[in-house]
């Protein structure tokens, strides 16, 4: 670049010499030749830049002096007014060179801005036309690579925990993932490499890595910012569409399953009651031998278990109704936890269940029956998947606005993917099918009860196999704060 600028600067000297000499031969005079030289200087500065224009200005002054200032054909000026005229001409020429160079830079910026807007328009238009049935990441990276002529485009989708890449270049997945976790936004304009964390408001949803050639691509910090914004919106749009589709599919499937299971549950109650009565009657017969009594006990135990599962199905069906009533009452925490200790004995032994209270408040307003039911579900779930003999911890804490119940067990791990769906009705992860029997209903009941109280339920799990389920209920002072009907 410096060499080409030097060559252009040197080339202006013979050009100015030739133009001024032609004016001398045509007896055009110093004024006319000076005007022609100024026009030529403007053209040179506009096309090539200020440095070339400055060299042309100096050359024009020298040749005007040589051909038109007495003594002619000499670089010496005898009259002081000629010196002043040469200095003024040089200043005017330099000013016009600077002005022409500024206009040229502005025209380039306007052109670049127009090209950037056109490419962003094409990108946003094509994002709207993307195939919703295909992976958004692969389509988006290919689109950015094509429109902006990038060497490599990599997109990390935090929700799906996966990276998509387009372009012949190479980038490590760990590097792109690190942009998201470190919330990094970085520009390397010399290498034409840009890193952006993708945000929607203050929430990070992914990361973007773009690299290109400084001479061939259309990338700079502004375009990287705009691309990042469009990418974040495209990811969120895709996630929203997927969630909407899944919700509709789940709703229709849930309606069908609910109708079938509800009908079966009601149909099971009568024969189960008969089996329990018959097995109880058999156990009262004194002539039964040890083998017969063991079989009768087995029949009665399994009938009780089936009755419990049937009741869970019916409770889940009730909680899935559009509206049901909550019976708020003032509950003393100490008394309530003692009741829970007794009620949970059917699912976990008293030796394994550790109940601890760290709450700053001594009572809450809630529906006692439903809250105990919700806690029973997560304690039962913790006992099923915990390491045999390990402790199950029920902890009660309070914040400024919530009362938080947490149940922790050791020996199980819930993956990030399963955490998003574990509260969905009938959902069971593939890893849990062989560990313990279940219906996929209990945690749905828990979340529905939390929602009914205007609270929330969630799960946290660490790779060292410690899993904690939480139920957080808002602190209210009296029943009328929320009314008694849950939506």
The domain limits of the chain are 2-112, 131-240, 244-319, 324-486
Phi-psi region of 143 (alpha: psi -120 to 50; beta: other; left: phi over 0): alpha
Q: Which residues contact 1 (CB under 8 A, 6 or more apart)?
A: none
> What's the pLDDT score for residue 263?
56
The string of pLDDT tens digits covering residues 370-429 is 898 889 889 988 888 888 888 899 999 988 888 999 999 988 888 877 777 777 766 666
Q: Minimal CA–CA distance to 371: which of 330, 421, 317? A: 330
CATH topology of domain 244-319: Helix Hairpins (1.10.287)
> What's the pLDDT score for residue 13?
82
Question: Is the predicted pLDDT of residue 457 greater than 60, yes or no?
Answer: yes
- E strands within 171-273? 186-188, 193-200, 203-211
Per-residue burial over 331-359, b = 16 or more CB atoms within 10 Å of its CB, e = otherwise? bebeebbeebeeebeebbeeebbebeeeb
CATH class of this structure's domain 324-486: alpha beta
What is the residue-averaged pLDDT of the chain? 79
Rounded to whole angstroms, how far apart are CA atoms 180 and 177? 5
Q: Minimal CA–CA distance to 60: which of 80, 88, 79? A: 88
Handedness of CA 108, 113, 118, 123 (dihedral sign): positive
> What's the pLDDT score for residue 482?
44
The string of pLDDT tens digits covering residues 271-293 is 767 777 777 777 777 777 777 77
For the question of whether the overall pTM of this predicted structure is more than 0.75, the answer is no
The string of pLDDT tens digits covering residues 229-248 is 888 888 887 777 776 666 66
Is residue 283 a contact partner of residue 297, using CB atoms and an 8 Å limit? Answer: yes
Select from 2.40.160.20, 3.30.450.20, 3.30.450.40, 3.20.20.300 the CATH code of 131-240.
Answer: 3.30.450.40
> What's the pLDDT score for residue 314?
62
Question: Is the predicted pLDDT of residue 26 greater than 60, yes or no?
Answer: yes
Rounded to whole angstroms, how far apart are CA atoms 228 and 471? 36
- Give the lowest-confidence range in 195-199, 264-268, 456-460: 264-268
For residues 309-319, average pLDDT: 61
For residues 107-135, average pLDDT: 74
- Helical spans, DSSP H, in 386-427: 416-419
Identical fold at 131-240 and 324-486? Answer: no
The string of pLDDT tens digits covering residues 326-382 is 788 999 999 999 898 888 887 888 888 999 988 888 889 898 888 988 898 899 888
Rounded to whole angstroms, how far apart are CA atoms 366 and 476? 9
């Amino acid at each position: 670049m410096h060499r080409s600028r030097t060559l252009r600067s040197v080339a202006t000297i013979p050009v100015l010499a030739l133009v001024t000499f032609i004016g001398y031969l045509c007896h055009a005079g110093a004024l006319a030749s000076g005007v022609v030289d100024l026009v030529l200087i403007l053209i040179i500065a506009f096309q090539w830049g200020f440095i070339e224009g400055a060299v042309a200005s100096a050359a024009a002054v020298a040749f005007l002096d040589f051909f038109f200032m007495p003594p002619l054909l000499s670089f010496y000026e005898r009259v002081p007014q000629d010196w002043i005229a040469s200095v003024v001409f040089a200043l005017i020429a330099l000013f016009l060179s600077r002005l022409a160079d500024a206009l040229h830079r502005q025209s380039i910026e306007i052109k670049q801005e127009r090209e950037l807007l056109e490419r962003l328009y094409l990108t946003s238009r094509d994002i709207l036309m993307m195939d919703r049935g295909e992976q958004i990441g692969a389509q988006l990276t290919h689109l950015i690579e094509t429109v902006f002529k990038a060497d490599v485009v990599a997109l990390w989708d935090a929700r799906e925990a996966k990276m998509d890449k387009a372009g012949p270049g190479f980038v490590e997945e760990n590097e792109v993932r690190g942009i998201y976790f470190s919330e990094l936004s970085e520009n390397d304009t010399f290498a034409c490499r840009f890193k952006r964390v993708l945000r929607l408001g203050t929430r990070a949803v992914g990361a973007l890595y773009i690299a290109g050639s400084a001479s061939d691509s259309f990338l700079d910090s502004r375009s990287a910012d705009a691309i990042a914004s469009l990418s974040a919106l495209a990811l969120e749009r895709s996630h929203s569409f997927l969630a909407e589709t899944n919700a509709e599919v789940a709703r229709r499937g849930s309606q069908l399953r609910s109708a079938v299971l509800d009908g079966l549950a009601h149909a099971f109650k009568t024969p189960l009651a008969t089996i329990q009565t018959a097995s109880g009657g058999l156990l009262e017969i004194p002539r039964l031998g040890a083998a017969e009594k063991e079989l009768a006990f087995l029949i009665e135990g399994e009938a009780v278990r089936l009755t419990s599962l049937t009741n869970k199905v019916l409770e889940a069906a009730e909680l899935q109704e559009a509206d049901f009533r909550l019976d708020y009452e003032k509950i003393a925490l100490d008394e309530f936890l003692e009741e829970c200790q007794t009620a949970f004995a059917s699912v976990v032994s008293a030796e394994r269940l550790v109940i601890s209270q760290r709450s700053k408040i001594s009572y809450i307003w809630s529906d006692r029956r439903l809250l105990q039911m919700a806690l029973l579900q997560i304690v039962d779930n913790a006992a099923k998947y915990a390491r045999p003999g390990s402790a199950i911890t029920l902890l009660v804490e309070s914040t400024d606005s919530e009362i938080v119940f947490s149940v922790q067990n050791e020996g199980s791990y819930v993956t990030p993917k399963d955490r998003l769906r574990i509260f969905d009705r009938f959902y069971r992860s593939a890893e849990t099918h062989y560990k313990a029997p279940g219906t996929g209903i209990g945690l749905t009941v828990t979340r529905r009860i939390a929602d009914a109280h205007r609270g929330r339920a969630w799960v946290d799990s660490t790779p060292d196999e410690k899993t904690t389920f939480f139920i957080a209920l808002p602190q209210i002072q009296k029943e009328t704060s929320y009314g008694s009907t849950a939506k």
